[in-house]
Amino acid sequence: MTAAAATSSSPFETITVTTAKVACDGNSAEGLGHPRVYLDLTADGTIVCPYCSRTYVLAAGAKIGHH
C-alpha cells in the first residue's frame, strides 16, 4: 500500500491512498495498534477504520479495480 498522510483539522489521522483496498493496524509499529483490518474504499472512495477512526481517502485519479 502506498500512502501519504494528508493534513486534517480532525483529531484523527486522514491518509490518502492510491489503492481501493487498504489494511489498517492502528500504527502497531509504535505500540498503539489494534487487530489488522482490511478496508475497501470502492463504494465511496473513503472509509473510516472502525477501531482507530483513521480516515482513508482514495487519491484523485486513482483507479478502482484491476484495469
| Local structure of 28: helix, strand or coil | helix
**Predicted pLDDT at 7:** 41
pLDDT by position in tens, the chain (length 67): 444 444 434 578 999 999 999 999 998 777 778 999 999 999 999 999 999 999 999 999 887 776 5
pTM higher than 0.85: no
What the chain holds in terms of domains, given with CATH numbers, is 3-58 (2.60.260.40)
- Tell me the residue length of the chain: 67
**Predicted pLDDT at 10:** 52
Ramachandran angles phi, psi of 10, nearest 5°? -75, 150
**Predicted pLDDT at 67:** 52
